[in-house]
Chains A and B, each alone.
Chain A
Amino acid sequence: MTTEMFILATLDGLSAAALLFMVALGLTLIFGVMGILNVAHGSLYAIGGYVAATLGLAIDKFGLSPALYLPALFLAAILIGPLLGTLLEVGLLRRILGKEHVLQLLVTFAAFMILEDVQRLVWGTQPYFVSNVMNQFGNTDVLGITYTNYQMIVLPVVAAVAYYGLRYFLTKTWLGREVIAMTFHREVATAMGVNAKLVSLLTFVIGAGLGTLGGALASPSTALLPGVGADMIVQSFAVIAIAGLGQLGGAALAACLIGLSRSFAVYLMPELAVLTPYIIMVLVLLVRPEGLFAATSMRRI
């Protein structure tokens, strides 16, 4: 392991971690407030990506300014995240609050499968790939290796902004504190005057928005096709299982752990690269079944 290799592997690991983190962040936030592990989060990721790719194609088709490529990614997330999030929360999750966890998993899994078919209906089965943004940002050479600025700089920066933005919202704003109060105890918070329904909805929409944003930001560098959502949801589960359910900062560290371990494995032991997230997960769960960062107290965010 040379210093050079260390730097290269770190750069690769961080950009992978950034995407993973954004998706896991939404998933863990929703769990923190609603107590539901939302499998349909994977669909939000996929649909966010598909909508972003569609917007990217539309920009080309109508000859709009290439300056719109990046804003289009955020627009896709903002358009579809709240819309689908509201639909899912009001139509489904609200009705299974407090039910058995197995039932909740099954219901959200069913939603995931239905949405998977919706994707196929709308976008078909052939892969979509709109990499305009990635090309637009150009490359940078690091130690003789070419990196895309999009993956090396844009993704980690957006992930960091999402994390600190969410933290600021939760700790510094009135609404955010209500969200935290809900995570302590839903009923007590309601008794104190927190509008539980509204806060739940809001949290879900933010969480869903993070999922779609993850998908939208992934779309320039990856092919979108049936099944992308499933892959992402499995990895996000690994992240929040390592971190402890509902842990925001923990999710950031766990995502980095997974991203970095994978990229280091590619250099050191390629055979293990596929397994690393799960090896880490098993090791962590053996020692701390509640996850690395889960506090022993009631507080989950």
Chain B
Amino acid sequence: MKRFNRKFGLIASMMVVLTLWAQLSLAQEKPAELKVGITTYVTGPASVFGVPAKAAFDIMIEEINAKGGIDGVKIAPFFIDEGVGTSGVLSEYRRANQEMGIRVMLAAISSGHCLALAPVAEDLKILNVMWDCSTERVLEDAKFNYVFRTQANATIEMVAAVIYLLRTKPDFKTVAVVNQDYAWGRDSWEIFINTLKALKPDVKVVAELFPKFGASDFSAEISRLQALRPDVILNTSWGGDLDTFVRQAAQRGLLKSSTFVMPLLESSMERIGDAVPDGVIAAGRGDHYFLHPETKNDPAHVAFVKKFREKTGAYPIYPSYHAVQSVIALKAAYEKAIKANGGKWPTIEQVAAAMKGLEFKGFGRPIKIREDGQGMEDQLYGITKKVPEYPFPVLDKMMFIPAELVTTPVGQKSPEYVKTISPEILKKEFKTYNYTK
């Protein structure tokens, strides 16, 4: 028995030495550069988001590299165009991984692409940061170890919209919707109306209009809405669709006869601001705003806005801020992992582990990544107001809706969760700000 114990002890200690040695030899060599794949739209209608986002990626990466990169390793971006469609993005994504050895990806803008890429990332052990897509389903329907989101999701954004609406205009009876006829248009309406019905059961839906994605004319929809005169109209469109709708609706007076809720108006404001009247409820998918009441005077934010305007001639919009957040989060996760790894360059698995619970700050409020990979990002809603300082309306009566209040708890699914939100939520204290110069 004694002999056996000695023998066993010997074998065990040899195994320990062996595994240690194996781990040492497997420890990541610090690479010459960190290749990061980034999917964004440079073609197609969604390039209204993709191009300003790419400008922000360029600015941030250049800035980080100029300061020595991440622990001395420079970031080398590799851009993939989402405009080629899901199958094209998937094959480019795989190619970037298999032929170029890229294991860190920031993808994607399109929710459809996020849904398609997340399982692929998990399979190929790619650290995937969902930097702009909004669908809450990715992280609610499956559990991932390599997939994270550095921003809010559709549920957080739409529940916040309902709260802001009910806080600023509690007495209304009828509501209508004009959304684009695709996944986001349909899903956002479903979350919105289910939340609204939970908080205000007597509300009546008078019209549900889903014009074609990319429609060039909304005359018939506008006429019908004018005839119905709903108290509140939701429109979650973006890009050319939102621009066209707002111009046509403004010209025909519809924007003044109903209260509009436009959760993505911030991204079109500079282009169509002259058509937007006061009193439209607007936001930019999170607390992204160049006039963010808490960060607009932060030197880093001021410098970013200045650089962005010099580069593009426009103010940054929410996708630009999303891009910033993903890069900052990636850097922070690497630094956290390096620290945990005793100062050595981490493996992808170690970075993925560092992502959970990561706290970081873009140019808005600090964000925390929850254990399921979801970013807890507070929401900023406001109401449009014309001011002499800008040729387009700014947000006034800004209200922060904290993410913890409106995010589906881990393990639950949004469609069921939003139906259980209690009207008590409306009595909470929310931090509010008026516009100041």
Binding site for B on A (CB under 8 A): 4-5, 8-9, 11-13, 15-16, 19, 120, 124-127, 129, 131, 134-135, 139, 144-148, 151, 218, 221-228, 231-232, 262-263, 266-267, 270-271, 273-274
Contacts and interface: CB of A to CB of B under 8 A. Distances in A.
B43 A120 contact: yes
Contacts of B50: 125
8 contacts: A9-B223, A16-B219, A126-B314, A127-B239, A127-B243, A266-B220, A266-B221, A267-B220
A45 to B, nearest CB: 10
B51 interface: yes
Contact of B247 (A15, A131, A232): A131
B252 A146 contact: yes
B251 interface: yes
Contact of B248 (A8, A221, A263): A221
Closest 4 CB pairs of A and B: A125-B47, A223-B240, A263-B220, A223-B243
A11 B51 CA distance: 38
Interface stretch (B132-140, B208-216, B276-284, B297-305): B208-216
A127 B48 contact: yes
B9 interface: no
A252 B126 CA distance: 55
Contacts of B208: 270
A262 B220 contact: yes
A126 B272 CA distance: 12
Nearest to B245: A223
Nearest to A14: B219
Given A225-B48, A231-B216, A270-B210, A139 B251 contact: yes
A115 to B, nearest CB: 13
Contacts of B271: 126-127, 129
A125 B48 contact: yes
Nearest to A131: B247
B244 A231 contact: no
B359 interface: no
Given A274-B210, A274-B212, A148 B45 contact: no
B291 interface: no
B181 interface: yes
Interface string B229-243: 000000000011101
Given A19-B217, A270-B207, 11 more contacts: A127-B243, A131-B247, A131-B251, A139-B252, A147-B252, A221-B217, A225-B239, A225-B240, A227-B214, A228-B240, A263-B223
